[in-house]
Structure 1
Amino acid sequence: MPVPELPRIPVTLSSSSVYPMGVAETFSIAEDLGYDGVEIMVTHRAETQQADVLNEWAWRFGMPVKSIHAPTLLLTQQVWGTAWDKIRKSALLAQEVGCDVVVAHPPFRWQGTYASEFASGIQRIEERTGVMIAVENMYPWRAGGREATMYLPHWNPVADDYRHVTWDFSHAATAEDDSYEAVRKLGSRLRHVHLTDGWSNGFKDDHLVPGHGNQRVVEAIEHIAQPDFGGNGFQGAVAVEVTTRSAREVGERERMLAESLAFARKHLGQE
């Protein structure tokens, strides 16, 4: 009896990859280069917060929103009120644009009950909304040779009690972690990937084009592409999240994003 063919893993473009350009440019570039959809990072910009705007662009460019990145960064602490409001509103936005994944950073240690009750709290939101909250790996903060304990319970979600996890290769490089081993350990809990790269250099979060750093990106991506990954195959999307702010020449940003897409297609076996 033939084994049923698994759906092709979507490769999407994060709106952070086109910064400082906006949402419209994200959808336009994604369509031009042949991506399968987009990830929207919620920021201070109103366009990233409005479902009607996102749905309009998704329809116009034929690029569905596949994931929402909650405003849980230090730079977005003033967006959408309290820490719990950020998660709840992100899940609601995901529902309104028709996707089922919200990316969220682990809580900061100083965030009180939000931090201490984070795992159980996001589980309740998942059960109420049907949206998966995929907690992203971060990295330790180091200064003067010392490591500051910034996240609770930890910057690395692999050992924590989260149902769903996002893996970011640049964060792994900063943490001097092994992405391939982490992806293997996560198995079916891995529901989303931020495709990028970086150098293990102590603190700098590079977000390089994949293949331009020292993470085991090739091995990890080829591993999740296996039909038996996590028992039933990888069920999420691979979102390109690279820094293109250094682009100066005409077309340079597009070349970086095209190279990232080609990398994903090749190692996911989609060429």
Structure 2
Amino acid sequence: MKRITIPFTLLLALQAAQAQIETITQVIEPALLECRYKWVQKKDTLGTDIVVDTMVLRIGKNVSQCYPQSTFFVDSLVNTPDGRELFGKLFDAAMEDTTGTIVIPTSKIVNEFYYKNYPKGKLTTWAPRATVYQIEEDYEKQAWALVDDSVKTVCGYECQLATCTFRGRTYKAWYTTQLPYPEGPWKFNGLPGLITEVYDTKNHYHFTLVSIKKNNLTPVCFYDIRSDLQPEVEKISRIDFLKQLPRIDKYDFMETDYHQY
């Protein structure tokens, strides 16, 4: 079988795209810790159809940011001045490939960026779609119940178990006091240590810590990702945003409480 590779000029274009990120970055504060989680979403009852992405969690003294790696890459391309052209080259290369070795870059699970305690006391979700939406809600911890005599090792850290019910789903979370940050992936927070693993009891969504970085960190940043055709971001409530999203996956969204409204 003939091997198809991305042209060298396209590889150079992708490297150049990383520099464009600087034009959409607003530094909030220095980072103290950067975590990466494996995020698995089940899409069928047998668990044979799953989607996997990497979730980045960057923790500062006052603010944390969390986002899927695939979303950051795609949105930094298509919402910067030269990025749409670069994305088009990737798309064309993938369409011309007959071997399946070149994949069209897309967001894998969600294309949203989460900022906890930014602004102070709020959790902000930045959701780039055809229109960029900004969702602001109160920054509150989940109502965790700690489970006594529970021990597990995750990513080399000794962890304890906690449970909670949050917006329509029941979750189990493993956390470690060896990393005294009351943080976790997505919107999870409020335990006496970093969350290393968290999943709903039906295992539709599952986050597992895979790496920790403590030195030479990128600052906690706000990525002002939007089209130059949309100077103003549309603000929307969390419930209204969920109601307008198309249902694609069998298991609904992580937050299912919008059905109550």
Please give the TM-score of this superposition, normalised by the length of structure 2: 0.29
Q: Which has the larger radius of gyration?
A: 2
User: Whose helix proportion is higher, 1 or 2?
Assistant: 1
User: Whose strand proportion is higher, 1 or 2?
Assistant: 2
The structure whose RCO (Cα within 8 Å, separation 6+) is larger is: 2
